[in-house]
Structure 1
C-alpha cells in the first residue's frame, strides 16, 4: 500500500467504494486522515466495512470540514451532469480529486532524486494489453516494476514508493479528468476514437481528458504517440513542434521516417533516423494482429525510453503470455475454438478480433455505444453467424439484417449453446466462437471481466471431465 499522509489529522470525504475508492480510503486512513467514506450501494458499503473502513453518510455531513472529496472515477464528474456530491463540493470550495491524483502528489512530495519512474498508458483501445506488456518486459529485464491503475490493482494498493521502482499505470479518461499533478516520465497515447462521449461532453472533451497525460512532462521526458489515426497524428505533430518533451511516434500502418514501426509484423526502430530491424512479431504468440503490432511498437518505445536495449525488449515481447479477456483462447472442443474478447466494449476494439479470424460465430451485444456496430461492416465477411445478447440485441439484429445471419439469444448461456451447435455442424475449417461484444456489460454483468469469466466458465463446463486413473 502507498500511504497518503498529505491529509494527516484532516477530514476527507471518499465517495464510491469500488476497487479504487476502497484503496484510496485505506491509504488515507493509513496516513492518518479522518476518512468519511460512503457508497450508495449497500453491498459495496458492507465490503468496505469488512475491510476496516468506517462508514459515514457524507450526504448528511458538514462539508465545510472536508479538505477534499476523493471521487471514484466511475462517478460523473462534469458530464452528462455533475453528481450531486460534486456539486456540493463545488459549492463549499472542497477540491475534487481521484486516487491517481493522490498517488501523483505523494510522488511529487518526495525529493526529486528519490522519486520512482512513472510510465502512463492511455488511449481508446489497447491500453490494458500495452500496460501489461510493458510491465512484463520490465519484469523479465529484472526491474522492480509495479503494474496497476485502471488495470488489475488500484494504484494506491501497489507497493510503497522508492527510487528504483517503475510504476506502469493504465490511465482511463475518467481518471485523467481528476488529475492535476501527475508527472509521467514516459507517457503513451496509443490511439483515439469516439468513446465515453457522454462522460466528456463530446469528442473535444474526451480528447482533452486524454491529453492530460502529457501535461506535466519536461524536456527530459518522452511522449510515445500512435500515428495511425487523425487525432493522435495531430497530437504527435503538435507536441513534437512544441519542444516541451521528446516525442516518439509509433505505427502499425506506416513506415515512419523517425520512430518505431511494426508494419506487417516486422518491428523496426527508426528513432535515430536510421532503420534497425528488431524482430518478427510472428515470433510473439500473444501479439498477433495489427492492433497488437501497435501495442508492441508502443511497448518497445516506452521500454527504450526507460533504458532497456532492443534485444532485451524483443525477448520480453516473445514471452508475453497475453491478457485475460482480450483475444484469450479459452479452449477447443470438437474442432471448435473458443475465444474470450470480453474486453472489446466498443466497435473499434471488436474490430481487432473480427479482423484476426475467419469462420467466426460471433457473440455480441450488451449496452451499445453511440456508434453501434456500423463501423464493423468491413469485417462482416469474416462472420458466419452472429448470436446477440443484452439490451442491444434487437438493434444489432436490425443492423445485421441482409448482411450477416443473426440469432437473438438474450443471454450469454443461450448464445454459447447455439453458437457451438451451429459451429460443430457447419463443416467449416477451424470455426471460432468469438465473444467480442462491441458493448459495455452493465446490463447483465458487473463488468467486462465478469462477462468474460462467465464465458470461460460456460466453455469449461462443456469440456469432458478428465479420466481418473484407477488405483
Structure 2
C-alpha cells in the first residue's frame, strides 16, 4: 500500500467512503496528514468510525485549513446534480482531487533513479481488456507489474514504487476528471463514443476528461490513440502536429501510417512505413472479434514502447486467458454455449459482442443509457430471440417489437428461458449476456450482475449433467 507523503502535516477532507475513499484516507493518514471523512450513508460512516477515523461534516471544518478534498470518482463535481461537498469545496477554493491524483503526486516525488514506469489506459470501451492484456504480456515476460485503478485493485492499494516496477492503470473519465498532475510514460486512448453524459453534462466535457490522460507527457513519452472514431483521429492529428510526444495510431479496420492495425483478425505493424504481418489473432482464443483486434493493437504498441520484443509480445497475446465479464465463455452443455459480457454497459460495447457471433440468443437489460439500444438495430435480424430484464425491459421491448423477444423481471428468469428455448431447437446455440445497460437498477455493479449470471449458468449446467 502507498503512503501518501505529499500532504504530510496538512488537513485533507475525504468524501465517499467506499473502497477508493477509505484507501485514500488510510494512505493519507500513513503519510502524516490529518484526515477528515464524510459519507452521506450512515453505515459507511459507522464503518469508518470503527477504523478510527475522524468523521465530520465539512461545514464543521475550518475551510481555510483544508488543503484538498478527495472525492470518490462517481460523485458529480459540477453541473445541475453537483454534490454538496463539491459545491462546498468550490465555494472555499479547495482543490477537488481523486485517488489517481494522490498516486500521481507520489510517483512524481519518487527519486528518478527508482521511479517506476507508468502505463495508463482509457477509452469508452475495451479499456479493461486492454489493461489486463498489457499486464499479462508484461508479467509473461517476467516484469514486475502492478495492475489497478478502475480495474480490480485501487491504485493506492498497490505495492509502493520501486526501481523496475511497471504500473498498468485503467483510468475512467470520472477518475481523469479529478486528476491534474498524472504523468504517464505510455498513455492510451482506445476509442471514444458517447457515454456518461449524465455525469459530465456534455460530450465536450467527457472528451476533455479522457484527454487528461495525455496532459503531462513530454517528447520521450508515448501516446497510443485509436483513430477509428472522429475524436481519436482528431486528437492523433493534433498531437502529431505538435510533436510533443511519440504518437502511435492504432486501428481495427484500416492500415494506419506509422502505427499498428488489426485487419480481419491479423495484426499488422506499419510503424516503419511498410506493413509487416505480426500475428494471426484467430489463434488468440480469448480475444474474439474485431474490437479485440483494436485492444491487441494497443497492447502491442504499449509493450513495445516499454521495450519488449515483438516475439515476446505475441507470445503473451496468444496465451492471454481473457477478462472476466468481457465475452467470457462460461461453459457448454450439449450444443449450447454460454458467454458472460456483463461489462457491456452501453450499446457500443454490446455491438462488439453482437458482431462477434453469426447468430445468438441475446440477454439484455438493466438501467438504460440515453441512446438505449437504438444503435444496435442493424444486429436485430441475426438475433434468434432477445430476453429482456430489469428497468429497461419495456423500453427495449418497443425497439424489438418486430423481432422475437420476451420480457422478464430478473436475469435468472431470462437465462432459464433462453436455455429452455435453445434446447428445443436441437441445434448449436449461443446464449450471450450483453446487457447494453448499467447494472444499478438491480445490482451494485456489473461484476455482481456477471457473477449472478455465472451462478445461474453453473446451476443449469450442474442440474442437466446429472
TM-score, with structure 1 as normaliser: 0.96
- 2:3 — aligned with what? 3
Secondary structure (helix, strand or coil) at the match of 1:464 reads helix
Q: How big is the shift at 1:80?
A: 4.1
Aligned residue for 1:413?
412
1:6 deviates by: 1.5
CA contact (8 A) 1:248 1:259 kept: yes
Matched, 1:200 2:200: yes
1:52 Cα offset (Å)? 5.2
Contiguous gaps of at least 5 residues in structure 1: none
Alignment counterpart, residue 452 of structure 1, candidates 435, 446, 450? 450
State the distance in 2 between where 1:233 and 1:467 align. 51
Which 10-residue stretch deviates more, 165-174 or 264-273?
A: 264-273
Deviation sequence 1:160-208 (CA, Å, 0-9, x none)? 0123111100000000011110001100010010001121121111111
Which structure 2 residue ranges, 5 or more long, are not aligned? none
**CA displacement at 1:46 relative to structure 2:** 4.2
Alignment partner, residue 31 of structure 2? 31
Cα deviations across residues 93-145 of structure 1 (Å, max 9, x unaligned)?
21111000001111111223332111010010000000000000000111111
Whole-angstrom CA distance in 2 between matches of 1:420 and 1:27? 48
Separation of aligned partners in 1, 2:434 and 2:295: 19
What does 1:289-300 correspond to in 2, within 5 Å? 289-300=289-300
Contact kept? 1:80, 1:199, Cα under 8 Å: no
Using the alignment, how far apart are the partners of 2:104 and 2:287 within structure 1?
A: 31
Structure 1 position 49, deviation (Å): 4.4
Taking the aligned partners of 1:348 and 1:80, their CA distance within structure 2 comes to 27
Q: Quick one: which of 426, 431, 434 aligns to 2:432? A: 434
Aligned-partner Cα distance in 1 for 2:266–2:359: 26
Deviations 1:304-358 (A, max 9, x none): 1111110000000011110000001111223211111000000000011111123
Q: Let me know the Cα RMSD of the aligned residues.
A: 1.6
Question: Normalization by structure 2: what TM-score?
Answer: 0.97
Q: What SS class does the counterpart of residue 256 from structure 2 fall into? A: coil
Between 292-301 and 162-171, the greater mean CA deviation after superposition:
162-171
1:307-326 to 2 correspondence within 5 Å?
Answer: 307-326=307-326
Contact 1:118–1:185 (8 Å) recurs in 2: yes
**1:270-349 residue pairs with structure 2 within 5 A?**
270-349=270-349
| Aligned match of 1:115 | 115
In the alignment, the residues of structure 1 paired with residue 116 and residue 164 of structure 2 have an alpha-carbon distance, to the nearest angstrom, of 6
Moved more, 448-457 or 374-383: 374-383
Q: Secondary structure at the match of 2:209?
A: helix
Counterpart residue number, 1:250: 250
User: Given that residues 260 and 301 in structure 1 are in contact (C-alpha distance below 8 angstroms), is that contact kept between their aligned partners in structure 2?
Assistant: yes
- Structure-1 separation of matches of 2:341 and 2:464: 26
What does residue 127 of structure 2 align with? 127
2: CA distance between counterparts of 1:140 and 1:242?
35
Report how far residue 54 of structure 1 moved. Answer: 4.5
- Please give the residue correspondences for 1:139-218 in structure 2 after superposition, counting only pairs within 5 Å: 139-218=139-218
Which residue of 2 is the match for residue 366 of structure 1?
366
d(CA) in 1 for partners of 2:267, 2:154:
32
Contact preservation (8 Å) 2:325, 2:343: yes
> Structure 2: how far apart are the matches of 1:134 and 1:45?
37
Give the whole-Å Cα distance in 2 for the aligned partners of 1:163 and 1:233.
35
Once the two structures are TM-superposed, the CA of residue 65 in structure 1 deviates from its matched residue by: 2.7
| Contact map agreement 2:97 2:179 (CA 8 A) in 1 | yes
Contact 2:255–2:270 (Cα < 8 Å) also in 1: no
Number of positions where the alignment pairs a residue of Structure 1 with one of Structure 2: 466
State the shift of 1:463 in Å. Answer: 2.3
Q: Distance in 1 between matches of 2:199 and 2:225?
A: 23
Partner of 1:229: 229
Matches within 5 A, 1:97-116: 97-116=97-116
Aligned counterparts of 2:192 and 2:465: Cα–Cα separation in 1: 49
SS at match of 1:345: coil
Residue 79 of structure 1: how far off its partner (Å): 3.1
Cα separation, 2, equivalents of 1:275 and 1:357: 29
1:18 aligned residue = 18
